[in-house]
Amino acid sequence: MPSMEAFFVFLQKNPFNMMLFGGAIATGAMLLWPLVMRPFRAGREVSVAEAVQLINRKDALVLDLRDTGEFEAGHITGARHIPEKQLAERLKDLEKFKGRSIIVACGSGTRSDVAVQVLRRNGFGESVSLSGGIGAWQQAGMPLDKR
């Protein structure tokens, strides 16, 4: 393996080479991290297309976790608004939806994962997170209701 030895000699000649190599390894790891961690997430995620199918075919409830101002600026048609901070205390409001699929949406898809875990622990087994949140919904060209 003379080529591998030559590579290590090249790295050792200049500390800058080692830094560049380390940077390449670190950025590669950051790119792969979401793919590696996906199976370990407690709640399942759905894409915008899958969410539309759940809404149309299974009459899924959309639960919007964003603040009131964000919700009023535009939300998925028919979405129920429960701010993230109030979710635990307002679970009773959702009891009648226990048998239905629930799509949890936030601004970017990061806060909804935690809410899905809370819902699943409380018997809402069909809860899923909207991957990318309302931002992904808008980027896909889907309409928002501003009422």
The residues annotated as belonging to the active site are: 106
Q: Which two tokens stand for residue 33?
A: 């991290």
Show Cβ contacts of residue 72 under 8 Å, excluding neighbours closer than 6 positions: 146
Comparing C-alpha atoms, which of 112, 59, 109 is closest to residue 84?
112
Nearest to 41 by CA among 110, 88, 132: 110
